[in-house]
Chains A and B, each alone.
Chain A
């Protein structure tokens, strides 16, 4: 009998199906790896097991008995400890308190037993004493720690639950080699004690180093479970890619022209900054260069840095033959960059303001205008909105009155009044409808055909494969591989993305 079993578990958020069918068995004393591309349902599955997400259907069994959790506390009592990908630490509290947060030792019914907290925390912190690095102590507040140290605290916190079932959702993303080795040593000991561990990682080498069995997920379904010993990299990647063959080859004519060595518009060399290092690439006139790979491997960071939105970058950026380094977006815009973020709420929408005010800021800046003449602005705004088939009542209506897709169109339109030389697209279709996506990519191809240089990062592989002339696959902040011509396949994309960095 399995320690934990999932039978046909499913979960949808509105029209979006996050988990279509989750089936898996977790044995005692095993490390069970879950692998799948962005949005394949791994995290949803883990959250269901941990009780923080309620499934729409299906069954969760522990020791053969069906369980239903009304919340994370229920799951904890049933013996489940989870490491969340988005860390769940109290930033202003000490390491010791965070480690014991799940079950603070209490004396006399109300008072936190400080001695006991220190003692418990010490036990788990000592496991990582060799690799925790400078500045790490039980009394340090979490906010004062480095990213890798915070991740260690989250690991210690998970271990401190002493739960028979432990779930680790990408626990190693910030850790260095020695820290990972130390962590794996601990996992092996836990395994020998008979604990059951679910482990999510995108690093192929780690999966083979620690896993006993692997379950591949694709499009919200658990596809197949194999013993690690019986499988290899290629087999796993083939499962992740699935049967859906390659998509229609990208726009033919335009690409040939682009790859035919047009004039170089943007040339980046040895570009390093927070989250990426030694990035180098060129974009020629009319070319669409795609950034691929797993989420958060430095793609957004590079785009934001090029746009001057994040400080601390070094390297050479040459635009139209002019060497430049934008210290802030204002300078980058003047130099000819445009940046469109998928995070409209944070980076794009001037919330609650009329559409006209949302379309015009770039025009003001580029033309150094002081006066806002409504008739002039209307004449500029209308064609830009029209180019994207934007649906709106009037220029005076608030941007909040529009659907997400139309809001994004308004934000894109602001860049179309005075055309930039380089368009940086940072996952621009996040959370928008299919029609808008279609309109948007039609426009992007049109802009490329007119000679604009375009860099497209998308978390949806199909968007990259369908639109990019070349794809640079990012892995751990560096470009792992360049896919051109007929190499632009889903298989190659995954292969490069999941290779050890």
Chain B
């Protein structure tokens, strides 16, 4: 391919390029789904309702941020343990803060440490014990689920501090809840991390050619462990917010985030094969999924039905994008 081909490509496409942009596709789908929801049930697309959807999308999106990093990092990267970390984090937070505002900071610290620890275990198993991420994190999910059962028998479920609940559910700034701002900040952080830091460049490098990255001096193992640690930390943050959202924690509250966090990433244009993608699309993907979830609830499809739809959505996405290709073409 000559340089001339390359130069002329963007000019020739216009609308075609626009349609191929995952973000544009996602936004169009979001509008269409909102319209569909409004038709099915008037009031679905009201401001208040949209705000509620955004809060749930933020919870999902924060989990998906870590998932996104692990997936970009390649070598079949995936973190199936995020749901377990979310649940555990919610319980740890509830018990540490025990309904007191003064307990929030220690709770956040404890949760982040917990998330980082389990992320480290995942990363260690994947890099040093050479366990495939799918197996490693699935095993870790099992460990976490067992742990949750034990914890639940021993200690009360814990309560959210009022300030935390307000932060997640009440208007914080410009009539948007704090969690929306937090999510936006995470969005900016992720964009900065991926595009403006050496760490970000190296995530893409190990995701597209691990050996070449190693030969170019990238500390591959350290990088990969860091990605799993970050995934654990993001899941822990989501767990704290989830506690604020629901008021009290209960076991397996986070389980429903595992599959959607992966779907949001793939929908956003990050292929499961790694080395490509970004977080902006993932954010749109999270919003889209939450709207879809809400529509399914509106038309009286229960939780098991929603799970089936989500699973099928992931399979259809895989069919469209292929494992090795991204939407960016």
Contacts and interface: CB of A to CB of B under 8 A. Distances in A.
A177 interface: no
B216 A361 contact: yes
B1 A401 contact: yes
Contacts of A397: 6
A200 interface: no
Given A330-B219, A362-B216, A353 B275 contact: yes
A382 to B, nearest CB: 15
Contact of B216 (A374, A401, A403, A414): A414
Contacts of B189: none
A482 to B, nearest CB: 29
Given A351-B209, A370-B197, A309 B215 contact: yes
Contact of B196 (A347, A360, A371, A402): A371
B6 A401 contact: yes
Contacts of B5: 401
Given A364-B198, A365-B217, A371-B198, A352 B275 contact: yes
A397 to B, nearest CB: 5
Interface in B107-128: none
Contact of A329 (B2, B6, B201, B217): B217
Nearest to B195: A372
B218 interface: yes
Given A341-B215, A347-B215, A370 B205 contact: no
Nearest to A403: B1
A351 B275 contact: yes
B328 to A, nearest CB: 10
B204 A353 contact: yes
A195 to B, nearest CB: 44
Interface size class of B (residues with CB under 8 A): 20 to 34
B217 A350 contact: no
Interface stretch (A96-104, A115-123, A386-394, A432-440): A386-394
A360 B208 contact: no
- Contact-residue bracket for chain A: 35 or more
A307 B208 CA distance: 22
Contacts of B197: 370-372
Interface in B35-66: none
A358 to B, nearest CB: 9
Contacts of B213: 350, 361
Contacts of A348: 212, 215
Contacts of B6: 392-394, 397, 401
A366 to B, nearest CB: 8
A330 B217 contact: yes
B172 interface: no
Given A369-B198, A372-B200, A393-B6, A362 B217 contact: yes
Contacts of A360: 201
B214 interface: yes
A339 B215 contact: yes
B299 interface: no
Interface string B215-258: 11111000000000000000000000000000000000000000
Given A330-B218, A365-B218, 7 more contacts: A307-B215, A347-B211, A352-B208, A352-B276, A361-B201, A372-B200, A397-B6
30 contacts: A330-B217, A330-B219, A334-B217, A339-B215, A346-B209, A349-B212, A350-B216, A351-B209, A351-B275, A352-B276, A353-B205, A353-B208, A361-B213, A361-B217, A362-B217, A364-B201, A365-B218, A369-B198, A370-B198, A372-B195, A372-B196, A372-B197, A373-B196, A391-B2, A392-B3, A392-B6, A393-B6, A401-B1, A401-B6, A402-B1
